[in-house]
Amino acid sequence: MVNMKSILGLALAIGIAFHAHAQKGPATARPNIVLIYADDLGYGDISCNGATKIRTPHIDRLASQGVRFTNGHASSATCTPSRYSILTGQYAWRKKGTGIAPGDASLIIDTAVTTLPSLLRKAGYATGAVGKWHLGIGDSKGPDWNGELKPGPLEIGFDYCWIMPATADRVPCVYVENHRVANLDPADPIKVSYTAPIGNEPTGKKNPELLVMHSSQGHNNAIVNGIGRIGFMQGGTAALWKDDSIAAVLTGKAQRFIVDHKTAPFFLYFATHDIHVPRVPGKAFAGKSGMGVRGDAILQLDWTVGQIMRTLDSLHLSDNTIFIFTSDNGPVVDDGYADQARELLGGHTPSGIYRGGKYSNFDAGTRVPLIVRWPGKSRQGVSNALVSQVDLLGSFAALTGQQLQHEDGPDSFDMMAAFTGKDLKGRESVIEHAGTLSIIKGNWKYITPGNGARYDNATAIELGNDPAPQLYDLRKDPQEKNNVAAQYPAVVKELSAQLNALKDA
């Protein structure tokens, strides 16, 4: 394993040396980077990936102008660990405490490590984070909602942030701008508890009559805007977000950031709330998909992408911007609210042909939509290269002529050639993380034995856990239906050894 790592390290170092040299030439540009990180959007949720029951014209247009990946991966099948990985270039499972974060978690990312924004800031980029954070905020004592919220995005490399601290189904339901809750009235402080109701606040459990959207599982603590949430809260009334305007507010903040930095190279990390629960589409989208709120949220997300494309076009920035569109994990239909998403699905297949979904070791857990557009630099078309979000750090380090230190982005390599569609092979292997770890190498996928449940009744998702080793030939069997571990013991042995070596590296 040491050998492999040092070989990769050497290759990376050589690549960077070349780049650093090239960087001196006057023609080298620092393209803007826009990363739209959708939430829980499945591989099959967009029409360019084959959806026929819903149309996503803006995302499709982006794809037609760039590279659309069929084998692109988030590094985990849930949000917090995927976000941790994309921002740090380190597989999240290497670090304790990177599972789905509670709404009052302290900042999970070590402020000393190199991150995507800190790396790009060093290269002279203006860096902004807009949207869902879900990586914790505040020091070990936890967030001080009425005071200074730090460390947070600004301490890991962003110059500006407008975020939802966790997810829309977790309290407090407020936006944070830089170090403060936005629009907070000091006379009405926020109180948050993740253990017990605060005073006599109504809860979804006690007062279902107050709900406009019922829960199918959990989500029965504080009631905010008629929706039960995870965690209890009181106060902060003026600061509460309105669920049906989250997409519009976030899109507006993202556009503002672009306009404000149009003359400098900028990096915008725009993590949409769509299509996570609770799904409360704005007026323009409610009822428009014919598929219920989940479909409406997809239309709203597509609109968001179109708005950002339009802003870049209007400022003549599109040609000099690397635009990445992807999702943090695979799809889930019922994620804890009785929002009719399942009943109204109408034959739509959010995971495309792939098996499983969010939370799953099967491929739909992490194989997600991934599109990269860089006009004039990226090829146009489809790539089957094996690529992972964890490589953005290494790729942008190389792009900006920076050398990563050994401890930085340990799992992240320069895959710019694959991201731009020039190298059609991509990674040799990648590790996926859900209930257990899996490795994809070439056409093989090996899932390590695990004792977790095979199936989750609440979400109706096959989790892909099995006490026996699982091996699938993804080329012949992309749906992971035929476990061929018994027929190919040597492959099982090789892949499990490689996985263990990478794990211990």
Binding site for ligand NG6 (CB under 6 A): 39-40, 78-79, 100, 134, 167, 169, 217-219, 230, 276-277, 329, 335-336
Query: Nearer to ligand NG6 by C-beta: 60 or 296?
Result: 296
Binding window for Ca ion (CB under 5 A); candidates: 37-45, 278-286, 305-313, 377-385: 37-45
Distance (Å, rounded) from C-alpha 395 to C-alpha 155? 22
Residue whose CB is less far from ligand NG6, 185 or 343: 343
Partner from ligand NG6, Ca ion, none binding residue 296, C-beta < 5-8 Å depending on class = none
Tokens 């998909």 belong to 289
Nearer to ligand NG6, 85 or 496 (CB): 85
Residue 429 dihedral angles phi and psi, to the nearest 5°: -155, 160
Residue pointed to by tokens 């990177």: 98
Q: Please choose which of ligand NG6, Ca ion, none residue 277 contacts, taking the beta carbon within 5 to 8 angstroms, the exact cut-off set by kind.
A: ligand NG6
Structure tokens at 60: 């499709």
- Residue pair 346/385 in contact by the 8 Å Cβ criterion: no
> Given the complex with ligand NG6, which of 30 and 134 has the nearer CB atom?
134
Selection from ligand NG6, Ca ion, none that 243 binds (CB < 5 to 8 A by kind) is none
The smaller minimum CB distance to ligand NG6, of residues 102 and 306, is found at 102
Interatomic CA distance for residues 492 and 444, integer angstroms: 9
Does residue 39 belong to the site contacting Ca ion (CB under 5 A)? yes
Q: Which of 104, 293, 312 is nearest to 212 (CA)?
A: 293
Q: Which of 295, 292, 328 is nearest to 167 (CA)?
A: 328
What is the dihedral angle through the alpha carbons of 468, 473, 477, 479, rounded to the nearest 10 degrees?
A: 50
CA 45 to chain centre: 15
Residue whose entry in the numeric block shows the structure tokens 């659309």: 68
Cβ 247 vs Cβ 182: under 8 Å = no
User: Taking the complex as a whole, how short is the minimal distance between the CB of residue 169 and ligand NG6, in angstroms?
Assistant: 5
CB of 329 to ligand NG6, least distance (A): 6
308, 254 in Cβ contact below 8 A? yes
> Could you tell me which residues are beta bridge partners of residue 67?
372, 381
- DSSP code per residue over 254-315: HHHHHHHTTTS-EEEEEE--TTSSS----TTTTT-SSSHHHHHHHHHHHHHHHHHHHHHHHT
Contacts of 284 (CB under 8 A, 6+ apart): 300, 303
- 156, 111 Cβ separation under 8 angstroms: yes
What is the distance between the alpha carbons of residues 497 and 191, in angstroms, rounded to a whole number?
49
Residue 354 C-beta: closest distance to Ca ion, Å: 16
Task: Provide the residue count of the chain.
Answer: 505
- 190 belongs to the binding site for Ca ion (CB under 5 A): no
Nearest distance in Å: CB 41, Ca ion: 9
Kindly write out the interface string for residues 55-84 of this chain, putting x where it contacts Ca ion by CB under 5 A and - elsewhere: ------------------------x-----
Shortest distance (Å) from residue 328 CB to Ca ion:
4
What binding mask, one character per residue, do residues 279-318 give for Ca ion by CB under 5 A, x or -? ----------------------------------------
User: Which pair of structure tokens corresponds to residue 283?
Assistant: 């007026």
d(CA 220, CA 199): 16
Pick the closer one to Ca ion by CB: 274 or 391.
274
Nearest-approach distance from CB 39 to Ca ion, in angstroms: 4
The contacts found for 92-95 with CB under 8 angstroms, 24 or more apart, are 92/433, 93/431, 93/433, 93/437, 94/410, 94/411
Residue among 168 and 190 whose Cβ is closer to Ca ion: 168
Nearer to Ca ion, 217 or 429 (CB): 217
- Residue 335 CB, nearest distance to ligand NG6 (Å)? 4
Which one, 231 or 265, has the nearer CB to ligand NG6?
A: 231
Listed ranges 32-40, 118-126, 144-152, 173-181: which one lies at the site for Ca ion (CB under 5 A)? 32-40
- Tell me the number of residues near Ca ion by CB under 5 A: 5
Considering only residues 16, 40, 44, 325, which one is a binding residue for Ca ion as defined by CB under 5 A?
Answer: 40
* Site for Ca ion, residues 319 to 378, rule: CB under 5 A: 328-329
Q: Would you say 118 or 329 has its CB closer to Ca ion?
A: 329
Q: Which does 217 bind (CB under 5 to 8 A by kind): Ca ion, ligand NG6, none?
A: ligand NG6
Least Cβ distance, residue 336 to ligand NG6 (angstroms)? 4
Chain residues in the site for Ca ion (CB under 5 A): 39-40, 79, 328-329
